[in-house]
Amino acid sequence: MTIIATGLSAARSGRIILHTTDVEIRRGERIGLVGASGSGKSTLGHALIDSLRAQGASVAHVPQSPDEALDPLRSMAFHWREAEQALGLALDPSRKQKLFAALRIEDGDLRKRPWGWSRGMQQRFVIAMALIGTPDLLVMDEPTSALDPVVAAGMMDLLDRYLSDRRTALLLITHDLGLAAARVLRLMVMAEGRIVEDAPTPDLLRVPRTEAARSLCAHRNWLALPC
């Protein structure tokens, strides 16, 4: 199944911050959405989520920081139950076990509140919650910016492995071209509220066609970086 959203746009205070855009994502496809700060990546991410949910597609969202997804006053067990109930799913310990093992959080104490877990574990828990209902699309907006680079790369590797034989597609919004380059087959580059380039990752990195892509690719061999 291909996910299609057409006519996405957004304006704030009379200014267009997302020009009319169509996005097509194939089942299980992994895409990186990159671009300078303020280019409209998060705006596009939100518009895409709203449009797809309105069509009845299941779309999960992982915000930049686990603080946005977790209530500091509630236990981790509470969050998990809420997430299952919100999707109308019956409690299923084996689903939880599988996701916890995949994201290496099986040792986390669910009776604790978020601050009883490390940041890296919290973010992996948030990803596990997002994957509970096997969504059609997982949108992650700067999911690693609150993490140190080693923890961030480890988390992305676990997610990579988990998604490799599943139907869930991934839109990874990031500043970090190195992180995206190693993990997505397609890159979309944004500048000034438009997707200015959309190409297979190796092609875009080898021959960036727009100024925005060239400035992102400049000076480094991203595919050779160990991240």
Ligand X SMILES: Nc1ncnc2c1ncn2[C@@H]1O[C@H](COP(=O)(O)OP(=O)(O)OP(=O)(O)O)[C@@H](O)[C@H]1O
Report the interface residues with ligand X, using CB under 6 A: 12-13, 17, 35, 37-43, 175
Angle between helices 93-102 and 149-163 (to 10 degrees): 130
Whose Cβ is closer to Mg ion: residue 174's or residue 201's?
A: 174
* CA nearest to 103, candidates 121, 119, 88, 118: 121
CB of 49 to ligand X, least distance (A): 13
Q: Which amino acid is present at 140?
A: M
How many other β-carbons are positioned within 10 Å of the β-carbon of residue 134?
13
* CA nearest to 77, candidates 147, 29, 125: 125
**Nearest residue to Mg ion on Cβ basis:** 42
| Only segment of 42-50, 85-93, 106-114, 123-131 that touches Mg ion (CB under 5 A) | 42-50
| Only segment of 20-28, 39-47, 87-95, 183-191 that touches Mg ion (CB under 5 A) | 39-47
Whose Cβ is closer to Mg ion: residue 36's or residue 199's?
A: 36
Site membership for Mg ion, residue 42 (CB under 5 A): yes
Binding mask 149-188 for Mg ion (x = CB under 5 A): ----------------------------------------
Cβ–Cβ under 8 Å, residues 3 and 25? yes
Whose Cβ is closer to ligand X: residue 10's or residue 70's?
A: 10
Length of the chain: 227
How many other β-carbons are positioned within 10 Å of the β-carbon of residue 218?
8
Query: Do strands 59-62 and 137-141 pair parallel, antiparallel, or not at all (unpaired)?
Result: parallel
Cβ–Cβ under 8 Å, residues 70 and 155? no
Binds 38, which of ligand X, Mg ion, none (CB < 5 to 8 A, cut-off by type)? ligand X
What is the Cα–Cα distance from 227 to 165, expressed in whole angstroms?
22
CB of 69 to ligand X, least distance (A): 17
Whose Cβ is closer to ligand X: residue 170's or residue 216's?
A: 216
Site membership for Mg ion, residue 39 (CB under 5 A): no
Task: By CB under 5 A, name the binding residues for Mg ion.
Answer: 42
